[in-house]
Structure 1
Amino acid sequence: MLWFLTCVAALIGGYFLYGAFIEKVFGIKVDRQTPAHTKTDGVDYVPMSTPKVYLVQLLNIAGVGPIFGPIMGALYGPAAMLWIVLGCVFAGAVHDYFSGMLSVRNGGASVPSITGKYLGNGAKHFMNVFAIVLLLLVGVVFVSAPASMLTNLMNDQFNLGITMTAMVVIIFAYYIIATIVPVDKIIGRFYPLFGGLLIFMSVGLISAIAISSDHSVLGGYEPSQMFTNMNPNDLPLWPALFITIACGAISGFHATQSPLMARCMENEKNGRFVFYGAMIGEGIIALIWCAIALSFFDGMEALQAAVANGGPGNVVYSSAFGLLGTFGGIIAFLGVVILPITSGDTAFRSSRLILAEYFNMEQKTLRNRLLMALPLFVIGGILTQVDFGIIWRYFGFANQTTAVMMLWTATAYLVRHNKLHWITTVPAVFMTSVCITFILNNSQLGFGLPMTLSTITGVVSAVAIAALVIIKSRNSGEVDSEEESLQS
């Protein structure tokens, strides 16, 4: 229990200490009007209260990633929790803060436009394609996962005989509606209620573990094992763990979501709570599920067997009902299901807005919103027929590569404005090394090269990219004023 509580305390301390430092480096301007006020349109640019914006941001970014990823990461042992803490405080929350605040400073612009402003048109075009691909993969993952979990729940607990196809259709229908209606009609109105379920799920499950006579939070592990790779398949911790646990530590998907709330946030002083704070909240969710995976099952082999018997969804189902009984299990399970649904609809919403920005098509009229959204849902519907495991593998790599691009964008911004760029450069170098090493070494997605060669190439490439970004940004100088919007 002490290891878990220490990790949670480190996350909360990171928010108050390192988060405040990040905010100071960025330099908020409380008197500067945000896009929610300067571009109010009643659809996407809508001022909302800070608690509401925070809850929506948390639900937007917290899909199945901070649940499925930490469950799979738990196969490496308690060391996975260390990555969640360090990654969240020094990389993920920093990434989310800059993706949100740079959007605020640039008129609510989406991540490809921000990347283009600070890294050039080539990076902008790359990010336009990559962001759309990532969001489509996210949308598909966040249809398939909740559809599968809901189908199991309805049939096992209520014997309703609902098919997986029917559930996919129902979720897609909801996504279409949520993508095109004004942000405050469904997302702003119901997501705070969903947040209540999320809190019940998180607090209820970890409390049940803590007071259970049969289970204890990490009670079966010795202190010497906290930093040991315990993977039963002897899989190397580097670099796979940093791809496996994405959303609970750092996730490029968040960069596509932060602009949604950047268009609704009422003052820059709320940015640390909304963007940095939501990532800390997601980190706590990730710690809870990593701890449950390590504690509920009797050893690493039992956890591996549970994953093999139905994936991370089976771990969620077994632990929720095993710890909280039927009624509590249903509530907790629904809290888990809500996460991918509330991220899936905003993934498609973000795709619509990125395409609209690219084609310079206003989104105030319903007709234009449908023109942008419907082709995305057609492609998404086709992708649901692809094997979930394949989609998930590509999602993991695409997700972290997008995070790398956002971190380099933030570095370029900080260098241009003569601010402390190392706060983003260091995590950018680390994650670039992870992504390049992974794609060079992985035989399924990449080139299957030896690990040593892949690692050396990854590290050298990351350092070279850092030098290029820093030198180019210094030579560019302050090309565009902070006060100038991309939309002007």
Structure 2
Amino acid sequence: MITFLLSIALLIVAYFTYGKLIEKIFGVKEARPTPAYSMKDGVDYIPMGTNRNSLIQLLNIAGVGPIFGPIMGALYGPVAFIWIVVGCIFAGAVHDYLTGMISIRNKGAHLPQLAGKFLGKTMKHMVNAIAVLLLLLVGTVFVTAPAGLLFNLMNGWVALGVITGAIFVYYIFATLLPVDKIIGRVYPILGALLVISAIGVGVMLVGTGAPIPELTLQNMHPAGAAIFPLLMITIACGAISGFHATQSPIISRTMQNERNGRKVFYGMMIVEGIIAMIWAAAAMSLFYGTDLSELIATGGAGLVVSEVAFTLLGAIGGTLAVLGVIVLPITSGDTAFRSARMIIADYIKLPQLKVASRLWIALPLFAISFVLTNMDFTLLWRYFGVTNAAISAIALFVGAMYLAIQYKFHWVASIPATFMTMVSLTFILNAPIGFGLPMITSYIGAAVGTIIILVLFAYKVKLNRAETNFKIDEDVSKAA
């Protein structure tokens, strides 16, 4: 219990300390107009209040990641707490803040555009493909997961196919309509439900004196799965997730002032970290060890969610908690498809003012996603995990480059970028869905690959610094 409470405290303190440091290093310009005003179009660029933006950002980035991931990561034992706290403070929140703020400084640009500008045109094309793939996987995962939870909650009263279809219909409307019509109005309410459900589980854990294990570095995974890199792949949302870099530009186009960035981007990642801590602790204390492993094998992380909710909160509270969990993936799946639509539109330079222009991009995405729903969830999660880690490394290198060109302290981004590069390469080399190499060989190969990438990064920094016409920030004045 002490480890759990201390971890929560560290996350909260980090917002006021390390978050403030990152904000200072970046250099907020309160007088600078944001794209929400300078590029207002009534569809994607619309000024919205800070509290609304914060709740939308939280729901955009949360998904089932900070719940399902920590539940599966709980198999490793309390070492998962370390990764959530350290990853969230020094990697995930930094990642979210820098990608969001750099997007604001560049007309609300998405990650492929930023990667092309700061890392080179080749990276733009590569990141565009990877980002769209990630968003398709996210959208698919976030259809199947809530559909399964709703199916179980209603005891099979409504067919799973009908529930899945209804979620797809909602996604179509949320993807096509202006951001303030559905997302801007519904998300604050759903965000409150999410926060209340997480707080309810957390309070009951403390109030009932749940046997949350104390800190140990021992790997307690029943199958002996390696902590590095598998724990980092398993617990992504809640620690660091490249998916967030695809979501931040949605809010960078609705932000009223740069001074709100720390609350919206860094702060909401801290909240997600707290949610991840609560669900990891619940899984460890209620179903630790073999029981948890068997429960996940039987019904997946969704079954653990239901068991935790109804055990701690009873019938009514448990139902509300499960509904709060269901809200998470649905409110990330819709913005995943919305982001994919915006990224493709930016890439092919197609204005999105007309519904028809949005429709012919969105419909093929939904068709592909519908086909992917027939894949095994566990396999989808693995592909999502490695793609997610790779995107997070790239996004952090974009942030590091942005700071390095200006001779600012880029290590706050380049160190976690290096770490996530090592995580991604090791997993790709070792995993069965990758090259399937022995772990020691994978470590060596990943280390060599990471060093090569760092050398290329340093060389690109030198080139960008030497480019006299290089614009760090795009002009967003009314005349732009």
Q: Do the structures match in fold with TM over 0.5?
A: yes
Aligned twin of 1:111: 111
Deviation at 1:421? Answer: 1.1
Task: Kindly indicate whether the alpha-carbon contact (under 8 Å) linking 2:35 and 2:476 is maintained by their aligned counterparts in 1.
Answer: no
Once the two structures are superposed, the pairs formed by residues 282-297 of structure 1 within 5 Å of their partners are 282-297=272-287
- 2:164 matched residue in structure 1: 168
Q: Is the 8 A contact 2:134 2:387 kept in 1?
A: yes
Match of 2:260 among 261, 264, 270: 270
Q: How does 1:296-315 map to 2 (within 5 A)?
A: 296-297=286-287, 299-315=288-304
1:2 and 2:8 aligned: no
Which residue identity is paired with 2:173?
I
2:283 is matched by which residue type in structure 1?
Answer: A
Aligned positions of 1:72-111 closer than 5 A:
72-111=72-111
Asked whether the 8 Å contact 1:75–1:231 carries over to 2, the reply is: yes
Alpha carbons 2:88, 2:273 under 8 Å: kept? yes
Query: What residue in structure 2 maps to residue 329 of structure 1?
Result: 318
Aligned counterpart in structure 1 of residue 380 of structure 2, from 391, 395, 405:
391
2:435 pairs with one of 447, 450, 458: 447
In 2, Cα distance between the equivalents of 1:73 and 1:164? 27
What is the one-letter code of the residue matched to 2:98?
F
Greater mean deviation of Cα atoms: 229-238 or 468-477: 468-477
1:43 positional shift: 0.9
2:278 partner amino acid: I
SS of residue in 2 equivalent to 1:455? helix
Compute the TM-score of the two structures, normalised by the length of structure 1: 0.95
Question: Comparing 89-98 with 369-378, which one deviates more in the overlay?
Answer: 369-378
Deviations 1:134-174 (A, max 9, x none): 0000000000000000001011xxxx621111110000000
Q: Please tell me whether the aligned partners of residues 217 and 291 of structure 1 are also in contact (alpha carbons under 8 angstroms).
A: no
Pairs within 5 Å for 1:363-382: 363-382=352-371
Counterpart for residue 43 of structure 2: 43
The 8 Å contact of residues 464 and 470 in structure 2, kept in 1 or not, is answered as no
Q: Work out whether 1:229 is the aligned partner of 2:219.
A: yes
Partner of 2:210: 216
Q: Cα gap change, 1:72/1:170 in structure 2, threshold over 3 Å: closer, same or farther?
A: same
Aligned partners of 1:70 and 1:290 also within 8 Å: yes
Q: Secondary structure at the match of 2:456?
A: helix
2:249 partner letter: P
Q: Equivalent residue for 2:141? A: 141
**1:309 and 1:146 mapped to 2: Cα distance?**
17
1:339 maps to which of 321, 328, 334: 328
Q: TM-score, normalised by structure 2?
A: 0.97
* Alpha-carbon distance, 1:485 to partner: 4.7
Deviation at 1:266, TM superposition (A): 0.4
Instruction: Return the match for 2:447 from 434, 437, 459.
Output: 459
Q: Contact 2:33 / 2:476 at 8 angstroms: preserved in 1?
A: no
Q: Tell whether 2:198 aligns with 1:202.
A: yes
1:471 aligns with 2:467: no
CA distance in 2, matches of 1:78, 1:462: 28
Among 416, 430, 433, the residue aligned to 2:405:
416
Name the SS of the counterpart of 1:227 in structure 2: coil
Letter in 2 for 1:83: W
> 1:323-343 CA deviation, whole Å, 9 max, x = no partner?
111111110000000000000
What amino acid does structure 1 have at the position aligned with 2:232? F
Q: In structure 2, what is the Cα distance between the partners aligned to 1:380 and 1:475?
A: 40
**Is the Cα contact below 8 Å between 1:139 and 1:348 reproduced in 2?**
yes
Instruction: Kindly provide the amino acid, as one letter, of the partner of residue 355 in structure 2.
Output: L
**Is this contact kept in 2: 1:217–1:292, CA < 8 A?**
no
Would the alpha carbon gap of residues 483 and 430 (structure 1) be closer, same or farther in structure 2, given more than 3 Å must change? closer
Secondary structure in structure 2 of the residue aligned to 1:239: helix
Give the corresponding residue for 1:62: 62
What's the counterpart of residue 481 of structure 1? Answer: 471
Q: Indicate if the aligned counterparts of 2:103 and 2:252 stay in contact, CA closer than 8 A.
A: yes
The whole-number CA distance in structure 2 between the counterparts of 1:100 and 1:469 is 21
- Asked if 2 retains the 8 angstrom alpha-carbon contact of 1:50 and 1:265, the reply is yes
- Once residues 200 and 174 of structure 1 are traced to their aligned partners in structure 2, the CA distance between those partners, rounded to angstroms, is 24
| Distance in structure 1 (CA, Å) of the matches to 2:275 and 2:331 | 15
SS at match of 2:412: helix
Checking the alignment, whether the CA contact within 8 Å between 1:60 and 1:257 is kept in structure 2 is: yes
Deviation at 1:36, TM superposition (A): 0.4
CA distance in 2, matches of 1:133, 1:199: 29
Q: Distance in 2 between matches of 1:361 and 1:354?
A: 10
Alpha-carbon distance, 1:482 to partner: 3.1
Q: What secondary structure, in the 3-state scheme, does the structure 2 residue paired with 1:108 have?
A: coil
Matched residues in 1 for 2:125 and 2:475: separation? 19
User: What displacement does 1:416 show?
Assistant: 1.3
- AA paired with 1:179? T
Secondary structure, in 3 states, of the residue corresponding to 1:309? helix
CA 1:121–1:485 in structure 2 vs 1: closer, same or farther (change >3 Å)? Answer: farther
Please point out which of 185, 188, 193 is paired with 1:192.
Answer: 188
Asked if 1:181 is matched to 2:177, the reply is: yes
Structure 2 residue runs without a partner (length 5+): none
Deviation at 1:486, TM superposition (A): 9.5
Is the CA contact 1:109–1:486 (under 8 Å) kept in the aligned structure 2?
A: no
Determine helix, strand or coil for the equivalent of 2:216: helix
Following TM superposition, by how much is the alpha carbon of 1:450 offset from its aligned partner in structure 2, in angstroms?
1.8
Q: Offset at 1:463?
A: 2.5
The Cα offsets for residues 328-371 of structure 1, whole Å up to 9 and x where unpaired, read as 11100000000000000000000000011011111111111112
Hey, what's the Cα distance between the residues in 2 that align with 1:457 and 1:25? 34
Matched residue, 1:251: 241
For 2:427 and 2:474, how far apart are their aligned partners in 1?
38
Q: Is the 8 A contact 1:415 1:474 kept in 2?
A: no
